Structure 1
Amino acid sequence: MKKNKIIILSIIIVVLCLGTGVLLSNIYKKSQKTKEKNEIINIKKTEKNVSQKNKKSKENKNIKNNKICIDPGHQEKADLRTEEIAPGSNQRKARVLGGATGVATKKPEYELTLEIGLKLRDALKNKGYDVFMVREKNNVNISNKERALITNKAGCDVFLRLHADAGGSGATGASTITSSIKNPNTRAVQQSSDKFSKIVLEEYVKATGFKNRGISYRDDLTGTNWSTVTNTLIEMGFLSNPEDDRKMSSPEFQDLMINGIVNGIEKYFSEK
């Protein structure tokens, strides 16, 4: 009897051990499956992140392939000799004017546009862009027609003309100018120029807080009429307005101006 009890007890112990072993085995297998599943998920996440980074890097690299031409408007001495305002036109205008002067700072427009132009060049180069400057000093004599032709020859993707406005002392804000859809000389680039003008202006006023005065469409600008490149002329603010004038000469505010223009250029290329 005692012997039978021992046998039964032994069988129970064996069964319990086997059951426990099977249970532990199942738990282990389940744990391994969960671990493997998590590892697969993590691998997929990593692959997705790498793919997104590579895609973004490729997009950025493609954007940086664009060449940007900057034309700081005006020059130290005006050249009042005349030139045709457009190919085949009988209408003529002064080759290049001296520009406006700051009512508060007394800084001439040609100095301000070059200041901004050089800073903009450096900011774009630091981002990896190829930048072409129409002028890098004030003592030059380059007509508006010549500026456009130089830019065309340089193989630029966009042509940015930097200017500052003048009007009544109460006038304030920024605007952009390009040709109209009716202009036969710029028909090939009018649509892209319109988009470029819009985006650059939006980003510029967002960065600076200047009033958005909108886009003007003009067909009497020599530098625009001779351009075969996507272009815009930005009136960065009013030199005739004391507040605008002081802001545009402030190094801190100039950084905002540069950031706005750079953002506009990059946004245009990314949506191109």
Structure 2
Amino acid sequence: MGSRQQLASSAFSQEWYYVTYGDRSGFVSASYISKEEPPAPDTTSQTAALPSVTRPAGSAGRVVVIDPGHQRNGDNTPEPIGPGASATKARVAGGTRGTTTGVSEYELTLTVGLQLKTELLNRGYTVYMTRESHDVNISNMERAQYAGNVGADIAVRLHGNGVDNSSVSGALALAPSTSNPYISSLAGESQRLSRCVLNAYCNATGLKNRGVSGNDTMSGINWSSVPVTILEMGFMTNPSDDRNMQDPAFQQRMVQGIADGIDDYFGL
């Protein structure tokens, strides 16, 4: 590429841009980018800007990325489930919905994610969010890569669960298995992170602890370059879990539990 080329780009933070040049895409440091104002973007068809986060005074120096799962509109465009994979999944699925409350998963995850951000900042962490609004289009691969590119120590992905059987309740966590073909080197730390977060979360909320499961089919796991966990916070198809997760007092316990688990992981 020449010394000055026009690129399609979107800001992932004050320090990184996701750019497209020809048939190639990737993250580029902001120091190499000069901006020209484009026409107003269509947020339903391109990657939206990820919000920046101010590093707090007295930070412990540990960096956490919070990924509130899903978004208002899913994107069924296929992307590889991992580096070099022939198998594909939708860039980002639409998620589930509370069968009792009617609240969508993408709303729940952002509500809890924003509260978790505040709690972690108060504890001295540096925090980045993959999204702070619903009207974005950010794939699971892009969310996973973002954590590595901002120098995160860990990535915590928040989700709500759903099954056909409404009697199933509780929380669980997903992590790569030791035979993961993409990030087996991160399996041990990802599983430890998952146990710390899930155990503290269930202790704080009283939800049934359904354990940590190995999963090697998740794009948001397989593209990660840092220890990662997917916390399924409860079953939105279970009336009790669904109502609890919409209760502000219960949400405080959810947030405290996740933050305590992150503290446990770092030995704080």
TM-score, normalized by length of structure 2?
0.77
* 2:111 partner amino acid: E
Map residues 126-137 of structure 1 onto 2, 5 A cutoff.
126-137=122-133
Structure 1 residue 64: deviation in Å? 1.8
Structure 1 residue 239: deviation in Å? 0.3
CA deviations 1:156-198 (Å, max 9, x no partner) are 0010000010011000000000110001311221111110101
Query: SS at 2:168's partner residue?
Result: coil
Q: Which residue of structure 2 aligns with residue 15 of structure 1?
A: none
Map residues 156-167 of structure 1 onto 2, 5 A cutoff.
156-167=152-163
Q: Which residue of structure 1 aligns with residue 108 of structure 2?
A: 112
Instruction: Give yes or no for the alignment of 1:182 onto 2:179.
Output: yes
Structure 1 residue 101: deviation in Å? 0.3
Q: Which residue of structure 2 aligns with residue 101 of structure 1?
A: 97
Map residues 117-266 of structure 1 onto 2, 5 A cutoff.
117-167=113-163, 168-266=165-263
Structure 1 residue 150: deviation in Å? 1.1
In structure 2, distance between residues paired with 1:127 and 1:200:
16
Q: What 5-or-longer segments of structure 1 have no aligned partner?
A: 1-60
Structure 1 residue 62: deviation in Å? 9.7
* 1:207 partner amino acid: A
Q: Which residue of structure 1 aligns with residue 74 of structure 2?
A: 78
Q: Which residue of structure 2 aligns with residue 65 of structure 1?
A: 61
* 2:104 partner amino acid: P
Q: What 5-or-longer segments of structure 2 have no aligned partner?
A: 1-56
After superposition, the CA RMSD in angstroms is 1.3
Query: SS at 1:254's partner residue?
Result: helix
* 2:117 partner amino acid: R
CA deviations 1:124-161 (Å, max 9, x no partner) are 11111100000000100000001011111011001000
Structure with the bigger percentage of helix: 1
In structure 2, distance between residues paired with 1:112 and 1:244:
12
Query: SS at 1:139's partner residue?
Result: coil
In structure 1, distance between residues paired with 2:241 and 2:185:
35
Between the aligned residues of both structures, percent identity stands at 45
Query: SS at 2:72's partner residue?
Result: coil
TM-score, normalized by length of structure 1?
0.76
Query: SS at 1:64's partner residue?
Result: coil
Q: Which residue of structure 1 aligns with residue 35 of structure 2?
A: none
Structure with the bigger percentage of strand: 2
Structure 1 residue 63: deviation in Å? 8.2
Query: SS at 2:267's partner residue?
Result: helix
In structure 2, distance between residues paired with 1:257 and 1:63:
23
- Contact 2:59/2:126 (<8 A) preserved: no
Query: SS at 2:91's partner residue?
Result: strand
- Contact 1:73/1:113 (<8 A) preserved: yes
